[in-house]
Amino acid sequence: MNRLALPYLLILPSFVLAAAIILWPVGEIVTLAVHDVNRFGMLRGFIGFDNFRELFADPDFFAALWRTLVWTAAVVLGTLVVSTPIALILNEDFYGRSLARVLIMLPWAISLTMTAIVWRWALNGESGMLNSGLRGLGLMNENIQWLAQASTAFPMQILIGILVSIPFTVTIFLGGLSSVPEDLYDAAAIEGAGRWTQFRLITLPLLRPFINIAFVLNTIYVFNSFPIIWATTQGGPANSTDILVTYLYKLGFRLGKLGEASAVSLIMFAILLVFTLIYVRLTMREEAA
Amino acid sequence: MINRRKFIRSLIFWALLAPVIVVILFPYAVMTITALKSATEVHDPNWWPSEWRWQNFPEMWETSGFAPALLNSLYVSGLTTLLTLVVSIPAAYALSRFRFFGRGAFRQFLLVSQMLSPIVLVIGLFRLVASLGLIDNLNILMWVYVAFNIAFCVWMLQSYFSTIPRDLEEAAWMEGAGRARTLIVVFLPLAVPAIVVTAIFTFINAWNEFVIALTMLRREENYTLPIRVFSLVAGRYTVDWNYVMAAAFLASVPVAIIFAWLQRYLVRGLALGAVK
């Protein structure tokens, strides 16, 4: 009896804690989403899908949804494109490699909030150091108000997003590269394969599961990323850099529309669930292989 | 002896990495330089200050409430790390050493809880905490962090634990050591590297967390560091950027140094954990 109960006793504390603090809010959000809720959180009656209808009538919601997709796609793809060559280089033997590794991993050590606050200052229109730096280098003549309009603010936020995602992605790739057996390359070299052919026929296929995992995990992280946009523009000016998470936060805590905000949460769950299912399938396929 | 081919290769590689490294170092440069500028020079469109103003740091320390925020962050992150390990290690051990009914379901539960980030749940979390009457309480913040770190920790630890050969434990049983004794004398010492890596990740997660702290903390004396620094910037008409950058510097550079030092182990650990 004791023997049988042991594993359950071992997982019990973690399960109870995570379930209480994660599943309970989920239930709460589902309840709020289908009720008429006042701004103090009092339920005023079941209204079915009215909160969703309200949401779908709001052009800001669709703008934020669309921007979230652009944000996620741009950051994730940008990160993969930049990280692949970085990982390949860091996997080679060269002078100063450990220093290069530390430098590339550096953004990881600083909180997103601090990074975003520093960038907010660096991008300041009047006295920001990006403007003065670029002017000093003779690259431009007039100050750009980087964060004053979405057309410059949003690309900058994407750039910051890519920068902070590189360390994690490079790490996954380096793990993958270290699992490629060296003698495969030797064999290929004997067969007369050049470096590009080696990359295409050996490295890339063996790296594929790692690229897949980095892709899905980054997608989940970036989709949920709040501090970069909140600490640089708070979704402004005029909601023009809002993504779903900042839209949700404003809806819930500034406008007090808790029902609609919960509906946004549920829509995000649905999207995240799809990502997670993809992740599960990818890892399972890898385990099977 | 410098190897000529390797030297040329190194030059090419550094040249290729240079653009990324410049962009990565740029915010550090901005932060450090601004932290050492005088209040008037901050708004001059020059890169370099005419003099390095080290007093910014003690002045910022006095005026910005940095010290209490630092203590709050240390308290919350330290306890979060400890408690997360205390609940995660047994769970990870169970997953790696027992086959039991519901094991698959528990793993799926972890995966789902990993997927649900705090920001998506923020409204429900706020209501949970408010209904307990614990808004503005650092301890409930800590419990929320523990809950959200469990999945990652169990996952990481479990994948390490599975690489520790069972033979050693079985040998200890043969010798007559009980399960608990084997665990403490044989298993846990072997698992120390994994536990350290996981602990550091949890600590950094808690140290950097933003949304939950922003939502749950009200009074300034309860602020953690990210909220403290953010509050120096957000919703203010004038921002003392030199102090803000000094605060950001103090809040991040010590962590960055520790991280750079431990980076090698962390990287190896994460790569292993993510794929296994």
pLDDT tens-place string over residues B9-42 = 899 999 999 999 999 999 999 999 999 988 888 8
| Contact at CB, B210 and A21, closer than 8 angstroms | no
Cβ-contact B216, B135 below 8 angstroms: yes
Closest CA relative to residue B95, chosen from B164, B152, B162, B151 = B162
pLDDT tens-place string over residues B45-79 = 778 888 888 888 888 888 888 999 999 999 999 99
Cβ-contact A162, A76 below 8 angstroms: no
pLDDT at B274 over 60: no
User: What's the DSSP call for residue A160?
Assistant: H
Closest CA relative to residue A167, chosen from B198, B259, B19, B15 = B259
> How buried is residue A238: exposed, middle or buried, by Cβ count under 10 Å (0-12/13-18/19+)?
exposed
Closest CA relative to residue B206, chosen from B63, B85, B65, B33 = B85
What six digits make up the tokens of B102?
A: 């519901």
B269 contacts on A by Cβ (under 8 Å): none
| Contact at CB, A28 and B109, closer than 8 angstroms | no
Chain A residue at shortest CA distance from B32: A118
B39 contacts on A by Cβ (under 8 Å): none
A28 touches chain B (CB under 8 A): yes
Compute the mean pLDDT over every residue in chain B, rounded to the nearest whole number.
86
A273 contacts on B by Cβ (under 8 Å): 115
Instruction: Look up the CATH superfamily of B66-275.
Output: MetI-like (1.10.3720.10)
| Contact at CB, A32 and B93, closer than 8 angstroms | no
CA A129 from chain centre, in angstroms, equals 27
Closest CA relative to residue A83, chosen from A279, A238, A214 = A214
pLDDT at B168 over 70: yes
Contacts of A172 by beta carbon, 8 Å cutoff, 6+ apart: A210, A213, A214, A217, B270, B271, B274, B275
Least confident range from A181-185, A247-251, A283-287, B152-156: namely A283-287
With vertex at residue B199, the alpha carbon angle to CA B24 and CA A116, rounded to the nearest 5 degrees, is 30
User: Which residues on neighbouring strands pair with residue A46, listed in sequence order?
Assistant: A35
Closest in A25, A105, A120 to B121, CB measured: A25
Fold of A52-288: MetI-like fold (1.10.3720)
Confidence grade of residue A108 (pLDDT, cut at 50, 70, 90): confident
pLDDT at B271 over 80: no
Confidence grade of residue A2 (pLDDT, cut at 50, 70, 90): low
What's the rounded Cα separation, in Å, for the pair A172 and A175? 5
Closest in B10, B95, B263 to A94, CB measured: B10
Confidence grade of residue B117 (pLDDT, cut at 50, 70, 90): confident
Interface mutation vs chain B, best among A9, A12, A14, A147, most B CBs within 10 Å: A14
pTM flag (> 0.90): no
pLDDT at A288 over 70: no
pLDDT at A122 over 50: yes
Q: How far is A107 from chain B (nearest CA, A)?
A: 7
CA distances from B242 to A33, A148, B28, B61, B239 (A): 44, 22, 14, 12, 9
Cβ-contact A94, B10 below 8 angstroms: yes
What is the pLDDT averaged over residues B182-199?
Answer: 85
What six digits make up the tokens of B153?
A: 């920790």
SS3 of residue B126 by DSSP: helix
pLDDT at B121 over 70: yes
